[in-house]
Amino acid sequence: MSSDHEIPGPGDGAGGAQGETALQAMAGQERARRSEFRRAWNRFKRYRPAFVGLIFIGILLVVALIPGVLAPYSATEFPTTRGVSPSWEHPFGADEIGRDLLSRMIYGTRVAFIVAITATLLSVAIGVAIGATAGYFGGWVDSLLSRVIDAFMAIPLLVLLIALSTVMGAGLSTTVIAIGVVIWAQYARVIRGDVLSLRERDYVMAARTIGARTPRIIIRHMLPNVLAPVIVIATLSVGSVIILEAALSFLGLGIQPPHPSWGGILSEGRAHMRNFPHISIIPGVAITLTVLAFNLVGDGLRDALDPHQRE
């Protein structure tokens, strides 16, 4: 006598139920993450100035990516006479030696974004590494690194930047490095404070108990929880980096001629303000609007990423 037995399928019995429950939990977590992203995006869009600033930055980013396509002339070409006022043929006019100012501003946009983004990323990397190390280990390590952070924040920023640029020499790469190693302290201070509050949390203690290594604990369990303020500070700092690059180029310590930069164009036009004011006014307006756009986006991100915000 034989009896028929059904083999339980993936959805049958306790094992199948547990598997289905796990899949539902994973799907729920994924939906929660997407929902939180949508809520943050909706909060950001509600702040209209930040959204307008984001569109403006997007336009500048496109200009920075394809300057050769958009610029009517080369940045070093002399298509007209010196100091020509803005016209249909030359919308921004010409500089003091006859170069098309619109073309130089377009190529200068690429320089501004290269310096701003790379210097910000460099400073974030240095600041996060030092701040996380100080906050996690505490004790004499924290005391030593905190004194270094305080020392960097005590020195006037522009003075330190000028000193480094003078020692390292002028140029694009040295400008990026000089700015990056000068402004990292603000990130380190924020990260240190957040990591100090996180290192005694239950999930961090559990990771230590099961033998997780220190780098894994910091990277996998701590840094994701402190990224929001870093993103906001980095966005706000991009505008400051653009100003610092313009200041160095204005002083002759940044991007060197004939390569165009907004600060360099501004510096070149200062001697001709009486006869050709547009040479200095146009890059000055560009710097102002770009810094304002990044500040507005930073304000919007701060509100959007705030966990206390509600719909």
Question: What is the mean predicted confidence (pLDDT) over 274-296?
Answer: 92
**What pTM did the predictor assign?**
0.81
Q: What is the pLDDT, as a whole number, of residue 297?
A: 92
Looking at domain 115-304, its CATH superfamily turns out to be MetI-like (1.10.3720.10)
User: What is the secondary structure of 211-234 as a DSSP string?
Assistant: T--HHHIIIIIIGGGSHHHHHHHH
What residue segments make up the domains of the chain, in order of their start?
A: 115-304
Q: What is the pLDDT, as a whole number, of residue 34?
A: 57
User: Model confidence over 2-46: pLDDT tens digits?
Assistant: 444 444 444 454 445 554 554 444 444 445 455 667 777 788 888
User: What is the secondary structure of 48-112 as a DSSP string?
Assistant: HHHHHHHHHHHHHHHHHH-HHHH-SS-TT---S-TTPPP-SSSTT-B-TTS-BHHHHHHHHHHHH
User: Model confidence over 129-184: pLDDT tens digits?
Assistant: 999 999 888 889 999 999 999 988 888 888 888 888 888 888 888 899 999 989 99
Q: What is the pLDDT, as a whole number, of residue 200?
A: 78
* Residue of higher predicted confidence among 200 and 277: 277
Q: Is the pLDDT of residue 252 over 60?
A: yes
